[in-house]
Amino acid sequence: MGAETRASFGGRLVAILAAAGSAIGLGSIWRFPYVAGENGGAAFLLVYLLAIFVVGIPVMVAEFAVGRATKKNAVGGYRQLAKGWRWLGYSGIIAALFISGYYYIIAGWSLEYFVNSFGSLYNEGVDFRTQFGIFQTSWRPLLYMVIFVVLTHIIIVRGVQDGIEKASKVMMPMLFVILIFMAIWVAFMPGAGAGYEFFLKPDFAKAFSADTIFSAVGQAFFSLSVGMGCMVTYASYFDKKTNLVGTSFSVSLLTLVVAILAGLVIFPAVFSAGIAPSEGTSLVFVSLPEVFKGMPLPSLFSAIFFLLLALASLTSTISFHEVLTAYISEEFGMSRKWATTITSTLSVVLCVVAMYTAFDVSIPGYNGTMLSDLFDFITASVILPLGGLFTCLFVGWRMKPDFLRGELTNQGTIKSRLYHVLLFLMRYVSPLLIGYIFVSNFV
Ligand code: TRP
């Protein structure tokens, strides 16, 4: 697609909606609670909060700057600014492939739980963990994964603007409302108190352990959709009046609020139902039905929630699908339709392989059992943080300071009080911190 036919997001609000749509998804509602549950709850929350501000926001701002300045996909963007740095775009493409290789699987689970809310979920007479196990060993995860790729495909084919804007505008406010409602509801479940203690009272010794920092930084990157050029691609659709710093704060705060709300719903429920917080990837799917079970209309509330979760996931799958599609269509001069088809086909193939291949080896920081777990580890814990580190070095050191200043002030038309702070974080704090975490985990 040439520059003249390139779509763009309407105004300021739409830019926030689109980027927040990408950020808010399974990362905040499924991944955050289970990783927090495995890493001491409140200790994890504390480090996660710090990670958002110290590394997450600077990386997001840096990606926005690259994307909007170049109006290109991830690879094209870095290459236009500095030929020798195009590999940073490629590392994003590889990360997008790994995410595509498992995210659709979990998104499919939410879709299945939506459908099954009206099915046998609440009248089976067996506990929710057993039901989850039966579901896992059936053909349904495969079917729903494929359905999810097809849904994403359809939205991408129709073009960025329509799909993303419409989905985000309606879905996000509803998601907030239902999460708040659920958070209030669980407060009255017996034994909920232990959940608050677990999630809100940090054990500081644990918080600053290398393991917790390692997983919290990975989670910060994953939940903000940064470290792989996704925000480069999205910012390439921003107009020249979009306030990059403001947008990145809004997006990060919205994401943070959703993650905290998810924790405030899940942990009281987990403790009330006697589930282990370290349950793992199934945590949301075995604990939330316990909450709905006690409500007046379990099927209805459950269906609304899982539908919203599926929609929130859809605005995220769209975003990494778009990274691959924009790259293929722009770099190989292919029609969007073909680029979309290639991306969707690859995603299905990767997910099928990932969901049926065991991968149970010991790597520091990795504790999964399937190839899909490894895909998650490689993206969230390796490629995204490293991508973020180099993005900071790129904008902080390789580019002239005027580049960042120009983008943050919209070429001198608005003020940017945070320019110096952000530059400092990009130049020193984020790279050193990420570098340190890597060395302490792997060496
Ligand atoms: N942030 C999304 C979530 O939390 C996942 C996601 C979408 C993502 N696009 C991304 C993660 C790009 C990393 C990079 O569900």
Give the tokens for residue 115.
Answer: 């459908």
Query: Mean of the per-residue pLDDT values for the chain?
Result: 93
Q: Report pLDDT for 157.
A: 87
Over residues 52-78, the mean pLDDT reads 96
In 3D, which of 432, 59, 27, 367 has the Cα closest to residue 230? 59
Q: Report pLDDT for 1.
A: 37
Ligand 1 atom at minimal distance to the Cα of residue 230 = 12
From ligand 1's centre to the CA of 274, what distance in Å? 31
Does residue 7 have a pLDDT over 80? no
Buried b (16+ CB within 10 A) or exposed e, 256-280: bebbbbbbbbbbbbbbbbebebbbb
From ligand 1's centre to the CA of 256, what distance in Å? 14
Cβ of residue 27 lying under 6 Å from some atom of ligand 1: yes
Give the tokens for residue 219.
Answer: 């989670």
Ligand 1 atom at minimal distance to the Cα of residue 227 = 14
Does residue 161 have a pLDDT over 60? yes
Closest Cα to atom 11 of ligand 1: 225
Does residue 5 have a pLDDT over 50? no
| Rg value, the chain, Cα | 21
Q: How far apart are CA 224 and CA 336, in angstroms?
A: 26
Q: Predicted confidence band at 169 (pLDDT cuts at 50, 70, 90)?
A: confident
Please count the residues of the chain: 443
Each residue of 391-430: pLDDT tens digit?
999 999 999 999 999 999 999 999 999 999 999 999 999 9
From ligand 1's centre to the CA of 290, what distance in Å? 27
In 3D, which of 50, 54, 48 has the Cα closest to residue 31? 48
Q: What sign does the CA torsion over 120, 126, 127, 132 have?
A: negative
Closest Cα to atom 13 of ligand 1: 225
Over residues 368-385, the mean pLDDT reads 96
Report residue 358: phi and psi, to 5°. Answer: -75, 145
Each residue of 267-303: pLDDT tens digit?
999 999 999 999 999 999 999 999 999 999 999 999 9
In 3D, which of 277, 392, 225 has the Cα closest to residue 45? 277
Q: Report pLDDT for 164.
A: 66
Q: Report pLDDT for 441.
A: 87
CA distances from 276 to 129, 214, 260, 339 (A): 11, 22, 19, 43
Q: How far apart are CA 330 and CA 343, in angstroms?
A: 13
Angle at alpha carbon of residue 81, lines to 75 and 85, rounded to 5°: 55
Does residue 255 have a pLDDT over 60? yes
Q: Report pLDDT for 122.
A: 93
Q: Report pLDDT for 286.
A: 96
Does residue 3 have a pLDDT over 80? no
Ligand 1 atom at minimal distance to the Cα of residue 221 = 13
Cβ of residue 320 lying under 6 Å from some atom of ligand 1: yes
Cβ of residue 222 lying under 6 Å from some atom of ligand 1: yes
CA distances from 50 to 57, 203, 302, 359 (A): 10, 15, 33, 32
Which of 48, 63, 100, 222 most suits a substitution to test ligand 1, by most atoms within 8 Å of the C-beta?
A: 222
Are 384 and 95 within 8 A, CB to CB? yes
Q: Among 32-46, 202-216, 219-233, 328-342, which stretch is predicted with the lowest mean pLDDT? A: 202-216
Does residue 4 have a pLDDT over 60? no
Q: How far apart are CA 272 and CA 291, in angstroms?
A: 9
Closest Cα to atom 2 of ligand 1: 23
From ligand 1's centre to the CA of 122, what distance in Å? 31
More confident residue, 155 or 317: 317
Over residues 190-205, the mean pLDDT reads 94
Which residues are 358's β-sheet partners? 370
Q: Report pLDDT for 160.
A: 58
Cβ of residue 229 lying under 6 Å from some atom of ligand 1: no
Closest Cα to atom 8 of ligand 1: 225
Q: Residue 362 burial (CB < 10 Å; 0-12/13-18/19+)?
A: exposed
Instruction: Spell out the residues 6+ positions from residue 441 whose beta carbon is closer than 8 angstroms to its own.
Output: 210, 211, 214, 364, 365
Q: Among 18-22, 113-117, 205-209, which stretch is predicted with the lowest mean pLDDT? A: 205-209
Cβ of residue 228 lying under 6 Å from some atom of ligand 1: yes
Q: How far apart are CA 97 and CA 110, in angstroms?
A: 21
Q: Report pLDDT for 340.
A: 96
Does residue 2 have a pLDDT over 50? no
Each residue of 12-26: pLDDT tens digit?
777 888 899 999 999
Q: How far apart are CA 194 and CA 192, in angstroms?
A: 6
Ligand 1 atom at minimal distance to the Cα of residue 320 = 9
